[in-house]
Structure 1
Amino acid sequence: MSQRYSQLNQELTRFIRDQNVFFVATAPESGYTNLSPKGLDSLRIPDPNTVAWLNVTGSGNETAAHVLENGRMTLMFCAFTGNPMVLRLYGAARVIHARDAEWSELINRFDALPGARQIFVLDVELVQTSCGMAVPLFDYRGQRDQLVDWAEKKGEKGITEYWEKKNRVSLDGRPTGIFEDRQAEANPGRG
């Protein structure tokens, strides 16, 4: 039932593009594991071993803290309509901020989303499919507008203030790199 691949093929890439939601899992070496649902039009596949997704402002910033610590990430896609399937992408991720040189190249791949916070790039090491026969069927009605509306109302200054309050550290108190140089923040006391 389960199949493993070293990269995405055309069929799996099409499957990903047809999904309206995906899930991101990360974990620090110790502490809380994070699992987050993602929507909007926020995911791109530049090549069979690379996935990039635009992360908009949220209540926490766990993914960034975990990626800074160890880079481990899993993305999961589920078929909620049609033939059952679950697809997982395992690999090493890096976080790109607006201050990073790579940002300008990557951000142009996405439609503008207010509150854009980071772009995560996953270097896919393993692709795994499984049956998904226990995943229920759901009818898609559309993306929610609330997060985009909230970010537009906050404006750039309000978003920055929100990041200061809610996005600087993870639940475990780990730095997220949202403002400071990532190396200095990830390795305090090292010159």
Structure 2
Amino acid sequence: MGKLFTALLPEHMEFIQKQRMFFVGTAPLHAEGHINISPKGYDALRIFSPTEIAYLDLTGSGNETSAHLEENRRITFMFIALEGPPMILRLYGKGRVILPGTEEWNHWTPKFELLPGTRQIICAELHAVKTSCGFSIPYYSYSGDRDTLKKWAENKGDSELTNYQHEKNITSMDGLITSIGLKAGKAKDF
């Protein structure tokens, strides 16, 4: 059933490119800290090599992924087959956050279609790829993307969006500083 690989194979890449949703998991180092699992949609993920992927991260009510990556860089991606043959694909790696206004940002953004509310790009170097059966995952049919987040960001505008990020996206729920917080001059708590 399950198999472990050191990099993405062509069939893994093909599977990922067919998925309309994926999940990102991160966690702080301290045992009492909250584990974060975040669903992602839109056409936001790119595969750059068998060991390098990145996704466009949009503004949300929290920024746990960024805080955890600043602390320890651990990240896991999960893709599940909701149509066709059953499959769960997990990617394990070390991630980093790329913020607007940096030289890296200018390098990475042409690889994406920037969406309203874009706040950062999350890049990951993979060290393990694992498949498992997915036999219990139900079938679901895709009927379209929600446009709610895009409309929300468009209605806010750039200035209000920046204010929102500084209000909601500077620290994690456990008090860890995010990349946006570090850029704004906040000190790390650890």
Q: State the TM-score, normalized to the length of structure 1.
A: 0.94
Q: CA deviation at 1:184?
A: 7.0
Q: 1:160 aligns with which of 152, 162, 172?
A: 162
Mapping for residues 1-191 of structure 1, pairs under 5 Å: 1-30=1-30, 31-181=33-183, 185-186=187-188
Q: How many angstroms does 1:22 deviate by?
A: 0.1
How many residues in Structure 1 have an aligned counterpart in Structure 2? 188
Aligned-residue sequence identity (percent) comes to 46
Residues 64 and 150 of structure 1: is their aligned pair in 2 closer, same or farther, counting only changes over 3 Å?
same
Distance 1:149 1:9 in 2: 37
**In structure 2, distance between residues paired with 1:159 and 1:6:** 39
Q: Which string of whole-angstrom CA distances, capped at 9 and with x for unpartnered residues, describes residues 74-117 of structure 1?
A: 00000000000000000110111013211111111111201111
SS in 1 for 2:96: strand
Contact residue 67 and residue 178 of structure 2 kept, 8 A: yes
- Structure 2: which 5+ runs fail to align? none
Q: Does the aligned pair in 1 maintain the 2:169–2:181 contact within 8 Å?
A: no
Aligned partners of 2:4 and 2:104: how far apart in 1?
Answer: 31
Q: State the shift of 1:9 in Å.
A: 1.2
Q: Closer, same or farther in 2 for the Cα pair 1:170/1:184, shift >3 Å?
A: closer
- For 2:68 and 2:38, locate their aligned partners in 1 and report how far apart those are by CA, in whole Å: 13
Secondary structure of the 1:136 match is coil
SS at match of 2:29: coil
C-alpha deviation, 1:182, in angstroms: 8.5
Greater mean alpha carbon deviation, residues 92-101 or residues 138-147: 92-101
Aligned residue for 1:108, secondary structure, equals helix
Q: Report if aligned partners of 2:92, 2:126 keep a CA contact under 8 Å in 1.
A: yes
Once residues 16 and 188 of structure 2 are traced to their aligned partners in structure 1, the CA distance between those partners, rounded to angstroms, is 32
Q: Check the 8 A contact 1:75/1:90 in 2, yes or no.
A: yes
Give, as a single letter, the amino acid of the residue that structure 2 aligns with 1:5.
Answer: F
Contact 2:57 2:121 in 1 (8 A): yes
List alignment gaps of at least 5 residues for structure 1: none
Q: Which runs of 4+ in 1 moved over 3 A?
A: 179-188
Amino acid at match of 1:64: S
Paired with 1:181 and 1:150, the residues of 2 have a C-alpha distance of 24
